[in-house]
Amino acid sequence: MSGRPETPADGQRRGDPGGVAGTGTPRARDAVAAAVATRLNGKPTRGPGQAGPERVARLHRLPAAAAAAPPAPTDPEAPEPAVNLYVAAAPAAVPADALLARLRWGGVLLLTAANRRALAAREAGFAGGEWLAEGDPCPLPPWPLAPSGLLGPVLGWPGRRAAARAWRKVRHEPEDRPSLYHHSFDVRLGRDAGQPSGFRVIKRVPTMTAIQRRLARHAERGGGAKHADLEQAARKLGNKIFPVFLTREAAFLKILQERLPELVDAGRFPRVLDLEKDERGFVKRIEMSWLRLGGPPIGAVAFATGAVELVEKLHRVARIVHLDLRLDNFVITDSGVCLVDFGSGIRVGETFDSRGMLDKLLQEMLSSSRIRQDLRRMQRKDRVTSPVFENAYDPPGPAVDLYSVAQNLTQAARHAEFSGLLRSSKREASELSRLRRGVLRPAPGEPVIATTAELLEALRTLGRRLARGRGR
Protein backbone atom coordinates (compact mmCIF):
# COMPACT_ATOMS: atom_id res chain seq x y z
CA MET A 1 0.00 0.00 0.00
CA SER A 2 1.30 3.40 -0.92
CA GLY A 3 2.10 5.93 1.77
CA ARG A 4 0.72 8.75 -0.41
CA PRO A 5 -2.26 10.48 1.25
CA GLU A 6 -5.41 9.53 -0.60
CA THR A 7 -7.14 12.32 -2.48
CA PRO A 8 -10.91 12.84 -2.62
CA ALA A 9 -10.88 11.63 -6.23
CA ASP A 10 -9.35 8.30 -5.15
CA GLY A 11 -12.23 7.60 -2.81
CA GLN A 12 -14.80 8.62 -5.40
CA ARG A 13 -13.34 6.45 -8.14
CA ARG A 14 -13.13 3.43 -5.84
CA GLY A 15 -16.70 3.83 -4.68
CA ASP A 16 -15.59 4.57 -1.11
CA PRO A 17 -16.80 1.43 0.69
CA GLY A 18 -16.12 3.10 4.03
CA GLY A 19 -19.19 5.27 3.49
CA VAL A 20 -17.52 8.62 4.21
CA ALA A 21 -15.74 10.80 1.69
CA GLY A 22 -12.37 12.23 2.59
CA THR A 23 -8.63 11.69 2.73
CA GLY A 24 -7.05 8.61 4.30
CA THR A 25 -8.21 4.99 4.05
CA PRO A 26 -11.91 4.11 4.47
CA ARG A 27 -11.14 2.31 7.76
CA ALA A 28 -9.38 5.38 9.10
CA ARG A 29 -12.23 7.66 8.09
CA ASP A 30 -14.78 5.45 9.83
CA ALA A 31 -12.57 5.36 12.92
CA VAL A 32 -12.28 9.14 13.01
CA ALA A 33 -16.02 9.50 12.58
CA ALA A 34 -16.68 6.95 15.33
CA ALA A 35 -14.26 8.64 17.73
CA VAL A 36 -15.73 12.08 17.15
CA ALA A 37 -19.24 10.67 17.51
CA THR A 38 -18.28 9.03 20.81
CA ARG A 39 -16.87 12.30 22.10
CA LEU A 40 -19.90 14.33 21.07
CA ASN A 41 -22.44 11.78 22.28
CA GLY A 42 -20.65 10.98 25.54
CA LYS A 43 -20.86 7.20 25.17
CA PRO A 44 -19.29 4.49 23.00
CA THR A 45 -20.62 3.87 19.51
CA ARG A 46 -21.73 0.27 19.90
CA GLY A 47 -24.62 -1.83 18.74
CA PRO A 48 -26.48 -2.10 15.42
CA GLY A 49 -26.72 1.14 13.50
CA GLN A 50 -24.25 2.89 15.79
CA ALA A 51 -21.32 3.04 13.38
CA GLY A 52 -19.31 6.23 13.31
CA PRO A 53 -20.56 7.89 10.11
CA GLU A 54 -24.22 7.24 10.86
CA ARG A 55 -23.86 8.51 14.44
CA VAL A 56 -22.11 11.66 13.28
CA ALA A 57 -24.83 12.23 10.70
CA ARG A 58 -27.52 12.07 13.38
CA LEU A 59 -25.63 14.20 15.88
CA HIS A 60 -25.12 16.94 13.32
CA ARG A 61 -28.68 16.72 12.00
CA LEU A 62 -27.46 15.73 8.57
CA PRO A 63 -30.16 14.60 6.11
CA ALA A 64 -30.87 10.98 5.33
CA ALA A 65 -28.03 9.06 3.69
CA ALA A 66 -25.62 11.87 4.58
CA ALA A 67 -22.79 9.48 5.34
CA ALA A 68 -22.91 7.79 1.96
CA ALA A 69 -20.40 9.08 -0.54
CA PRO A 70 -22.04 9.79 -3.93
CA PRO A 71 -21.00 7.76 -6.96
CA ALA A 72 -18.19 8.97 -9.15
CA PRO A 73 -19.32 11.14 -12.08
CA THR A 74 -19.43 9.28 -15.37
CA ASP A 75 -17.88 12.24 -17.16
CA PRO A 76 -14.15 12.35 -16.27
CA GLU A 77 -14.14 16.13 -16.85
CA ALA A 78 -17.11 16.75 -14.56
CA PRO A 79 -16.46 18.25 -11.11
CA GLU A 80 -16.41 15.82 -8.21
CA PRO A 81 -19.77 15.77 -6.44
CA ALA A 82 -19.94 17.41 -3.03
CA VAL A 83 -20.87 15.44 0.09
CA ASN A 84 -22.49 16.14 3.48
CA LEU A 85 -19.83 14.46 5.63
CA TYR A 86 -16.11 14.65 4.92
CA VAL A 87 -13.24 13.32 7.03
CA ALA A 88 -9.82 14.91 6.50
CA ALA A 89 -7.63 12.14 7.94
CA ALA A 90 -4.58 13.74 6.32
CA PRO A 91 -5.52 17.43 6.64
CA ALA A 92 -2.26 18.88 5.35
CA ALA A 93 -2.89 17.26 1.98
CA VAL A 94 -6.01 19.33 1.25
CA PRO A 95 -6.22 23.13 1.81
CA ALA A 96 -9.23 24.73 3.48
CA ASP A 97 -10.53 26.23 0.23
CA ALA A 98 -10.50 22.82 -1.44
CA LEU A 99 -12.36 21.30 1.51
CA LEU A 100 -15.04 23.97 1.10
CA ALA A 101 -15.63 22.79 -2.45
CA ARG A 102 -15.89 19.15 -1.32
CA LEU A 103 -18.76 19.85 1.09
CA ARG A 104 -22.34 20.66 0.37
CA TRP A 105 -23.71 23.75 2.06
CA GLY A 106 -24.22 22.87 5.73
CA GLY A 107 -22.03 19.78 5.44
CA VAL A 108 -19.72 18.71 8.27
CA LEU A 109 -15.95 18.38 8.04
CA LEU A 110 -14.18 16.19 10.59
CA LEU A 111 -10.71 17.75 10.71
CA THR A 112 -7.83 15.80 12.28
CA ALA A 113 -4.20 16.49 13.12
CA ALA A 114 -1.31 14.76 14.87
CA ASN A 115 -2.01 16.60 18.15
CA ARG A 116 -3.99 19.51 19.54
CA ARG A 117 -1.31 22.06 18.77
CA ALA A 118 -1.15 20.94 15.15
CA LEU A 119 -4.95 20.96 15.01
CA ALA A 120 -5.06 24.54 16.30
CA ALA A 121 -2.52 25.59 13.67
CA ARG A 122 -4.51 23.83 10.97
CA GLU A 123 -7.74 25.48 12.13
CA ALA A 124 -6.29 28.94 11.55
CA GLY A 125 -7.42 28.55 7.95
CA PHE A 126 -10.98 28.08 9.16
CA ALA A 127 -11.25 31.38 11.01
CA GLY A 128 -13.24 33.12 8.27
CA GLY A 129 -17.00 33.30 7.94
CA GLU A 130 -17.22 30.12 5.85
CA TRP A 131 -16.97 27.70 8.81
CA LEU A 132 -18.60 27.22 12.20
CA ALA A 133 -16.91 25.06 14.88
CA GLU A 134 -19.07 22.26 16.29
CA GLY A 135 -17.94 21.62 19.86
CA ASP A 136 -14.43 21.36 21.29
CA PRO A 137 -11.45 19.41 19.94
CA CYS A 138 -11.50 15.77 21.04
CA PRO A 139 -8.69 13.20 21.31
CA LEU A 140 -8.57 10.21 18.96
CA PRO A 141 -7.28 6.77 19.90
CA PRO A 142 -4.31 5.34 17.94
CA TRP A 143 -4.73 2.31 15.73
CA PRO A 144 -5.03 -0.63 18.17
CA LEU A 145 -2.67 -2.88 16.18
CA ALA A 146 0.06 -0.26 16.04
CA PRO A 147 0.46 1.17 19.56
CA SER A 148 3.68 2.83 18.61
CA GLY A 149 1.81 4.88 16.08
CA LEU A 150 4.48 4.23 13.46
CA LEU A 151 2.15 2.50 11.03
CA GLY A 152 -0.64 4.99 11.48
CA PRO A 153 0.52 7.54 8.88
CA VAL A 154 1.10 4.77 6.35
CA LEU A 155 -2.41 3.39 6.77
CA GLY A 156 -4.02 6.77 7.08
CA TRP A 157 -4.84 6.18 10.75
CA PRO A 158 -4.46 8.97 13.33
CA GLY A 159 -1.48 8.82 15.65
CA ARG A 160 -1.25 8.31 19.42
CA ARG A 161 -2.03 11.92 20.40
CA ALA A 162 -4.20 12.79 17.43
CA ALA A 163 -7.07 15.23 17.87
CA ALA A 164 -10.12 16.14 15.82
CA ARG A 165 -12.93 18.65 15.67
CA ALA A 166 -16.05 18.95 13.55
CA TRP A 167 -16.56 22.08 11.42
CA ARG A 168 -19.71 23.00 9.51
CA LYS A 169 -19.75 24.85 6.19
CA VAL A 170 -22.14 27.74 6.83
CA ARG A 171 -21.49 30.21 4.02
CA HIS A 172 -23.14 29.60 0.67
CA GLU A 173 -20.77 30.19 -2.23
CA PRO A 174 -22.70 30.43 -5.51
CA GLU A 175 -21.32 29.84 -8.95
CA ASP A 176 -19.55 32.72 -10.66
CA ARG A 177 -22.04 34.85 -12.55
CA PRO A 178 -21.36 36.43 -15.94
CA SER A 179 -22.53 39.98 -15.32
CA LEU A 180 -23.02 42.81 -12.88
CA TYR A 181 -26.67 41.92 -12.30
CA HIS A 182 -26.00 38.33 -11.28
CA HIS A 183 -23.59 38.82 -8.41
CA SER A 184 -24.61 37.15 -5.20
CA PHE A 185 -26.02 38.19 -1.88
CA ASP A 186 -24.29 37.34 1.38
CA VAL A 187 -25.96 34.03 2.29
CA ARG A 188 -25.01 31.91 5.29
CA LEU A 189 -26.45 29.70 8.01
CA GLY A 190 -27.17 30.85 11.54
CA ARG A 191 -27.97 28.65 14.53
CA ASP A 192 -31.67 28.28 15.39
CA ALA A 193 -32.63 25.59 17.89
CA GLY A 194 -36.27 26.05 16.94
CA GLN A 195 -35.75 24.80 13.38
CA PRO A 196 -35.69 21.05 12.57
CA SER A 197 -32.22 21.39 11.03
CA GLY A 198 -30.92 23.54 13.90
CA PHE A 199 -30.20 26.38 11.48
CA ARG A 200 -31.86 29.16 9.50
CA VAL A 201 -30.74 30.91 6.30
CA ILE A 202 -29.61 34.53 6.65
CA LYS A 203 -29.60 36.38 3.33
CA ARG A 204 -28.43 39.99 3.37
CA VAL A 205 -27.18 42.79 1.17
CA PRO A 206 -23.39 42.41 1.20
CA THR A 207 -21.14 45.15 2.51
CA MET A 208 -19.62 47.61 0.07
CA THR A 209 -16.17 46.18 0.80
CA ALA A 210 -17.33 42.66 -0.05
CA ILE A 211 -18.96 43.90 -3.26
CA GLN A 212 -15.81 45.73 -4.35
CA ARG A 213 -13.66 42.70 -3.60
CA ARG A 214 -15.88 40.39 -5.66
CA LEU A 215 -16.09 42.88 -8.53
CA ALA A 216 -12.31 43.22 -8.57
CA ARG A 217 -11.90 39.44 -8.88
CA HIS A 218 -14.55 39.38 -11.59
CA ALA A 219 -12.76 42.17 -13.50
CA GLU A 220 -9.42 40.37 -13.28
CA ARG A 221 -10.91 37.24 -14.83
CA GLY A 222 -12.66 39.28 -17.51
CA GLY A 223 -9.74 41.40 -18.62
CA GLY A 224 -9.82 44.15 -16.02
CA ALA A 225 -11.77 47.36 -15.55
CA LYS A 226 -11.03 50.88 -14.44
CA HIS A 227 -11.08 51.57 -10.73
CA ALA A 228 -13.73 54.27 -11.19
CA ASP A 229 -15.96 51.80 -13.04
CA LEU A 230 -15.67 49.32 -10.17
CA GLU A 231 -16.54 52.01 -7.64
CA GLN A 232 -19.61 53.02 -9.61
CA ALA A 233 -20.70 49.40 -10.13
CA ALA A 234 -20.28 48.63 -6.42
CA ARG A 235 -22.45 51.61 -5.44
CA LYS A 236 -25.12 50.56 -7.93
CA LEU A 237 -25.14 47.02 -6.60
CA GLY A 238 -25.11 47.98 -2.92
CA ASN A 239 -27.53 50.90 -3.06
CA LYS A 240 -29.98 49.83 -5.78
CA ILE A 241 -29.79 46.33 -7.25
CA PHE A 242 -29.36 44.20 -4.13
CA PRO A 243 -31.95 46.10 -2.00
CA VAL A 244 -34.55 46.15 -4.79
CA PHE A 245 -34.36 42.45 -5.58
CA LEU A 246 -34.17 41.36 -1.94
CA THR A 247 -37.29 43.43 -1.26
CA ARG A 248 -39.06 41.76 -4.18
CA GLU A 249 -38.02 38.32 -2.95
CA ALA A 250 -39.47 39.06 0.49
CA ALA A 251 -42.74 40.14 -1.15
CA PHE A 252 -42.95 36.98 -3.25
CA LEU A 253 -42.25 34.74 -0.24
CA LYS A 254 -45.09 36.51 1.57
CA ILE A 255 -47.40 35.80 -1.39
CA LEU A 256 -46.41 32.12 -1.26
CA GLN A 257 -47.23 31.94 2.45
CA GLU A 258 -50.65 33.49 1.76
CA ARG A 259 -51.62 31.58 -1.40
CA LEU A 260 -49.74 28.27 -1.07
CA PRO A 261 -49.50 27.75 2.71
CA GLU A 262 -49.65 23.97 2.40
CA LEU A 263 -46.47 23.91 0.29
CA VAL A 264 -44.70 26.36 2.59
CA ASP A 265 -45.72 24.27 5.62
CA ALA A 266 -44.48 21.13 3.84
CA GLY A 267 -41.07 22.73 3.31
CA ARG A 268 -41.37 22.96 -0.47
CA PHE A 269 -40.86 26.75 -0.43
CA PRO A 270 -38.87 28.80 2.14
CA ARG A 271 -40.70 30.45 5.03
CA VAL A 272 -39.75 33.98 6.09
CA LEU A 273 -38.77 33.96 9.77
CA ASP A 274 -37.59 37.55 10.12
CA LEU A 275 -36.53 40.53 8.01
CA GLU A 276 -34.93 43.93 8.43
CA LYS A 277 -35.40 47.08 6.32
CA ASP A 278 -33.15 50.06 5.74
CA GLU A 279 -34.12 53.70 6.25
CA ARG A 280 -35.58 53.82 2.71
CA GLY A 281 -37.91 50.88 3.35
CA PHE A 282 -35.90 48.38 1.27
CA VAL A 283 -35.25 44.95 2.77
CA LYS A 284 -31.58 44.50 3.66
CA ARG A 285 -31.80 41.14 5.47
CA ILE A 286 -34.12 38.15 5.25
CA GLU A 287 -34.00 35.18 7.60
CA MET A 288 -35.82 32.10 6.32
CA SER A 289 -36.17 28.37 6.78
CA TRP A 290 -33.37 26.24 5.37
CA LEU A 291 -34.41 23.76 2.69
CA ARG A 292 -31.50 21.42 3.13
CA LEU A 293 -30.15 19.32 0.27
CA GLY A 294 -30.43 15.65 1.17
CA GLY A 295 -32.91 12.84 1.63
CA PRO A 296 -33.60 9.50 -0.02
CA PRO A 297 -32.82 9.24 -3.76
CA ILE A 298 -35.69 9.84 -6.18
CA GLY A 299 -36.14 8.93 -9.83
CA ALA A 300 -35.62 11.35 -12.69
CA VAL A 301 -39.31 11.34 -13.66
CA ALA A 302 -40.33 11.87 -10.03
CA PHE A 303 -37.96 14.84 -9.81
CA ALA A 304 -39.29 16.36 -13.04
CA THR A 305 -42.89 15.86 -11.93
CA GLY A 306 -42.23 17.44 -8.53
CA ALA A 307 -40.41 20.40 -10.06
CA VAL A 308 -43.07 21.12 -12.69
CA GLU A 309 -45.81 20.70 -10.09
CA LEU A 310 -44.27 23.53 -8.06
CA VAL A 311 -43.89 25.79 -11.08
CA GLU A 312 -47.43 25.09 -12.27
CA LYS A 313 -48.85 26.11 -8.88
CA LEU A 314 -46.53 29.10 -8.84
CA HIS A 315 -48.10 30.27 -12.12
CA ARG A 316 -51.73 29.28 -11.55
CA VAL A 317 -52.25 29.93 -7.83
CA ALA A 318 -49.54 32.36 -6.70
CA ARG A 319 -49.47 34.15 -10.09
CA ILE A 320 -45.68 34.41 -10.00
CA VAL A 321 -43.17 33.79 -12.80
CA HIS A 322 -39.80 32.72 -11.38
CA LEU A 323 -37.61 33.62 -14.42
CA ASP A 324 -34.51 31.87 -12.99
CA LEU A 325 -35.33 28.17 -12.93
CA ARG A 326 -31.77 26.94 -13.17
CA LEU A 327 -31.15 23.62 -11.44
CA ASP A 328 -29.18 25.47 -8.74
CA ASN A 329 -32.51 26.87 -7.52
CA PHE A 330 -34.11 23.45 -7.07
CA VAL A 331 -33.40 21.44 -3.93
CA ILE A 332 -34.05 17.76 -3.15
CA THR A 333 -34.91 17.28 0.53
CA ASP A 334 -36.77 14.77 2.70
CA SER A 335 -39.91 16.75 1.74
CA GLY A 336 -39.34 16.19 -1.98
CA VAL A 337 -38.46 18.70 -4.68
CA CYS A 338 -38.27 22.30 -3.43
CA LEU A 339 -37.73 25.71 -5.04
CA VAL A 340 -35.80 28.74 -3.77
CA ASP A 341 -34.47 32.18 -4.82
CA PHE A 342 -37.40 34.29 -6.03
CA GLY A 343 -35.58 37.62 -6.32
CA SER A 344 -35.64 37.63 -10.13
CA GLY A 345 -39.35 36.87 -10.40
CA ILE A 346 -42.28 38.96 -11.57
CA ARG A 347 -46.04 38.68 -11.16
CA VAL A 348 -48.00 37.19 -14.05
CA GLY A 349 -49.01 40.12 -16.26
CA GLU A 350 -46.96 42.60 -14.22
CA THR A 351 -46.11 45.81 -16.06
CA PHE A 352 -43.67 48.57 -15.15
CA ASP A 353 -43.27 52.24 -15.87
CA SER A 354 -40.68 52.26 -18.67
CA ARG A 355 -39.16 55.37 -17.09
CA GLY A 356 -38.93 53.88 -13.60
CA MET A 357 -35.88 52.47 -11.84
CA LEU A 358 -37.39 49.00 -11.35
CA ASP A 359 -38.19 48.57 -15.05
CA LYS A 360 -34.67 49.61 -15.98
CA LEU A 361 -33.08 47.22 -13.49
CA LEU A 362 -35.27 44.32 -14.61
CA GLN A 363 -34.56 44.94 -18.29
CA GLU A 364 -30.83 45.12 -17.64
CA MET A 365 -30.96 41.93 -15.59
CA LEU A 366 -32.99 40.05 -18.20
CA SER A 367 -30.72 41.17 -21.03
CA SER A 368 -27.82 39.34 -19.35
CA SER A 369 -29.87 36.30 -18.28
CA ARG A 370 -28.20 32.98 -19.15
CA ILE A 371 -31.60 31.45 -19.75
CA ARG A 372 -32.48 34.15 -22.29
CA GLN A 373 -29.12 33.82 -24.02
CA ASP A 374 -29.50 30.04 -24.14
CA LEU A 375 -33.01 30.29 -25.60
CA ARG A 376 -31.85 32.66 -28.34
CA ARG A 377 -28.95 30.38 -29.21
CA MET A 378 -31.24 27.34 -29.40
CA GLN A 379 -33.68 29.23 -31.61
CA ARG A 380 -30.93 30.33 -34.00
CA LYS A 381 -29.88 26.68 -34.35
CA ASP A 382 -33.51 25.57 -34.88
CA ARG A 383 -33.36 23.44 -31.74
CA VAL A 384 -36.31 25.40 -30.35
CA THR A 385 -39.05 25.85 -32.95
CA SER A 386 -42.24 25.83 -30.85
CA PRO A 387 -44.27 29.03 -31.36
CA VAL A 388 -44.77 29.17 -27.59
CA PHE A 389 -41.25 30.57 -27.17
CA GLU A 390 -41.13 33.02 -30.09
CA ASN A 391 -41.87 36.02 -27.87
CA ALA A 392 -41.17 34.50 -24.46
CA TYR A 393 -39.44 37.65 -23.22
CA ASP A 394 -41.70 40.23 -24.91
CA PRO A 395 -42.87 40.68 -22.21
CA PRO A 396 -41.39 37.96 -19.97
CA GLY A 397 -44.01 35.48 -18.84
CA PRO A 398 -44.72 31.83 -17.96
CA ALA A 399 -43.22 30.63 -21.26
CA VAL A 400 -39.76 31.49 -19.89
CA ASP A 401 -40.29 29.09 -16.98
CA LEU A 402 -41.72 26.43 -19.31
CA TYR A 403 -38.55 26.60 -21.41
CA SER A 404 -36.35 26.27 -18.31
CA VAL A 405 -38.13 23.25 -16.85
CA ALA A 406 -38.16 21.56 -20.27
CA GLN A 407 -34.39 21.93 -20.44
CA ASN A 408 -34.08 20.59 -16.90
CA LEU A 409 -35.87 17.36 -17.85
CA THR A 410 -32.66 15.89 -19.22
CA GLN A 411 -30.04 17.93 -17.38
CA ALA A 412 -31.06 17.19 -13.79
CA ALA A 413 -29.54 13.70 -13.75
CA ARG A 414 -26.11 15.21 -14.57
CA HIS A 415 -26.32 18.06 -12.05
CA ALA A 416 -23.42 17.72 -9.59
CA GLU A 417 -25.45 18.88 -6.58
CA PHE A 418 -27.94 16.04 -7.12
CA SER A 419 -25.28 13.33 -7.16
CA GLY A 420 -26.46 10.47 -4.96
CA LEU A 421 -29.93 12.03 -4.67
CA LEU A 422 -31.32 11.52 -8.17
CA ARG A 423 -31.24 8.28 -10.12
CA SER A 424 -32.24 7.81 -13.74
CA SER A 425 -32.75 4.59 -15.66
CA LYS A 426 -32.05 4.38 -19.37
CA ARG A 427 -35.75 4.23 -20.10
CA GLU A 428 -36.49 7.28 -17.96
CA ALA A 429 -33.69 9.21 -19.67
CA SER A 430 -35.02 8.22 -23.10
CA GLU A 431 -38.62 9.13 -22.28
CA LEU A 432 -37.65 12.47 -20.75
CA SER A 433 -35.50 13.31 -23.75
CA ARG A 434 -38.45 12.56 -26.05
CA LEU A 435 -40.74 14.72 -23.93
CA ARG A 436 -38.22 17.57 -23.92
CA ARG A 437 -38.07 17.50 -27.73
CA GLY A 438 -41.85 17.54 -27.84
CA VAL A 439 -41.93 20.74 -25.79
CA LEU A 440 -39.13 22.59 -27.55
CA ARG A 441 -39.37 21.25 -31.08
CA PRO A 442 -42.72 19.51 -31.71
CA ALA A 443 -43.02 17.49 -34.89
CA PRO A 444 -45.57 18.53 -37.53
CA GLY A 445 -49.02 17.48 -36.40
CA GLU A 446 -47.83 16.82 -32.84
CA PRO A 447 -49.77 18.59 -30.04
CA VAL A 448 -47.96 21.69 -28.79
CA ILE A 449 -47.31 21.80 -25.05
CA ALA A 450 -47.92 25.45 -24.25
CA THR A 451 -48.17 25.59 -20.43
CA THR A 452 -46.62 24.01 -17.36
CA ALA A 453 -50.06 22.48 -16.62
CA GLU A 454 -49.90 20.56 -19.92
CA LEU A 455 -46.30 19.49 -19.23
CA LEU A 456 -47.30 18.32 -15.75
CA GLU A 457 -50.08 16.16 -17.16
CA ALA A 458 -47.65 14.65 -19.70
CA LEU A 459 -45.20 13.82 -16.89
CA ARG A 460 -47.89 12.24 -14.74
CA THR A 461 -49.01 10.13 -17.70
CA LEU A 462 -45.39 9.09 -18.27
CA GLY A 463 -44.99 8.19 -14.59
CA ARG A 464 -48.10 5.97 -14.65
CA ARG A 465 -46.91 4.23 -17.82
CA LEU A 466 -43.48 3.53 -16.34
CA ALA A 467 -45.07 2.25 -13.12
CA ARG A 468 -47.25 -0.20 -15.08
CA GLY A 469 -44.18 -1.41 -16.94
CA ARG A 470 -42.30 -2.07 -13.69
CA GLY A 471 -45.31 -3.93 -12.28
CA ARG A 472 -45.37 -6.51 -15.05
* Contacting residues for 286 by C-beta, under 8 A, at least 6 apart: 202, 203, 204, 246, 249, 250, 253, 272, 274, 275
Domains in the chain and their CATH numbers? 8-169 (no CATH), 174-290 (no CATH), 294-472 (1.10.510.10)
Cα–Cα distance between 9 and 162 in angstroms, integer?
Answer: 25
Q: Which band of pLDDT confidence, cut at 50, 70 and 90, is reported for residue 446?
A: confident
- The strand pair at 163-169 and 103-113 is best described as antiparallel
Cα–Cα distance between 278 and 37 in angstroms, integer?
Answer: 43
DSSP structural state of residue 340: -
**Which range, 6-15, 25-34, 321-330, 414-423, has the best average confidence (pLDDT)?**
321-330
CB neighbour class for 365 (10 Å; exposed up to 12, middle 13-18, buried from 19): buried
Of residues 179, 19, 226, 199, the one with CA closest to residue 106: 199
Q: Which band of pLDDT confidence, cut at 50, 70 and 90, is reported for residue 465?
A: very high
Question: Do residues 323 and 369 touch, judged by C-beta distance below 8 A?
Answer: yes
Q: What is the pTM of this model?
A: 0.81
Per-residue pLDDT, 354: 64
Of residues 236, 324, 336, the one with CA closest to residue 296: 336
Query: What percent of the chain is modeled with pLDDT above 70?
Result: 70
Q: Which band of pLDDT confidence, cut at 50, 70 and 90, is reported for residue 91?
A: very low
Strand partners, 166: 110, 134
Per-residue pLDDT, 345: 93
Q: Average the pLDDT over each of 143-147, 227-231, 262-266, 329-333 and give the range with the smallest value.
A: 143-147
Q: How confident is the prediction for the chain on average, in pLDDT?
A: 77
The rounded Cα 371 to chain-centroid distance in angstroms is: 18
Average pLDDT in the 365-391 region?
Answer: 92
Does residue 391 have a pLDDT over 70? yes
Q: What is the pLDDT of residues 330-366, one digit of tens each?
A: 999 989 999 999 998 999 988 766 667 777 788 778 8
Does residue 36 have a pLDDT over 60? no
Q: What is the pLDDT of residues 248-300, one digit of tens each?
A: 999 999 999 999 999 999 999 999 999 999 999 999 999 999 998 888 899 99
